[in-house]
Amino acid sequence: MPLSWSCCVMDASGAVLESVDEDRVHPTASVGKVFLLCEAAERIVDGRLDPHVMLTRDPTLQVADSGLWQHLATDELPVIDVCQLIAAVSDNWATNVLLDVIGLAAVERRADALGCERSRLHDRVRDRRLPEHPAALSSGTARELAEVARRIHRAASGAPADGITDAAGAMVERWLIPGVDLSLVAAPFRLDPLAHATGRVVLWSKTGCDADVRADMGVAWSDGRALSYAALATWEPGDSVGDDPFRLMHGVGDRLAARLGITAA
């Protein structure tokens, strides 16, 4: 089969409820931006990064595809708004600007602190990847990414979580909840992509899409029960996989909804 598929679903304690090839390393496109957000949040919390300092949209860091900043008139935004753009619309230009401030080495150390051995943000976003560049923007395993999602939500809920403080976890989760891409694991919940911060079920997801990648990590919770997940589908360039990545992703969402007692439409 041309498609490589991995997934992992955990409950709040970290017990694995569902898994398929969960330790396989996949390219994960924009999913690795979560590590950048976690590091930025920790720096805001401990005072190393002023959330209101203005960052300039450097033309040398411009990149196309996902994001809104490229369509806005303003060349400057405060750090906190840059983080919100990255979390909500996976803004590529905002990612490069923030990464230029924080540095890749610090983001790698944050991934280590969050328990990751093989999940990383490797580089800034680029329109073209040349031989001298890392082969992928980010990569990871379903098990590690589901665990990172679990720790973010645990910290946001005020419980101890290795690698992220409760204040930083709450900040990251607040940035991620408005995320507009609900096309993968979250699709069966049929939430409004532009307004889903409240309701019987709340979820956040950080997705990554490329020509041969569909990746998603996040948390869904309802009535005090939370489930974290990561689902990764990759294939060789040029292979025809049809709707299989979406079918597999939506299947994970269906099962999440069932476990939470939600009737997915």
Domain residue ranges in the chain: 3-259
State the Cα–Cα distance between residues 219 and 37, nearest whole angstrom.
Answer: 16
User: What are the Cα distances from residue 5, in Å, to 62, 208, 247?
Assistant: 32, 14, 11
CATH 3.40.710.10 assigned to domain 3-259? The reply is: yes
142 sits in the region (left: phi over 0; alpha: psi -120 to 50; else beta) called alpha
Strand partners for 231: 7, 216
State the Cα–Cα distance between residues 11 and 106, nearest whole angstrom.
Answer: 29
pLDDT at residue number 152 = 98
pLDDT at residue number 210 = 93
pLDDT at residue number 254 = 97
**Nearest CA-CA partner of 124 in 85, 91, 152, 163:** 91
pLDDT at residue number 1 = 52
pLDDT at residue number 239 = 81
How many CA atoms lie within 13 Å of 225's alpha carbon, on the beta-carbon side? 10
pLDDT at residue number 237 = 83
Indicate the DSSP class of residue 124: -
Q: With a cut of 70, list the residues of the chain below it in pLDDT.
A: 1, 264-265
pLDDT at residue number 240 = 83
pLDDT at residue number 264 = 53
pLDDT at residue number 189 = 96
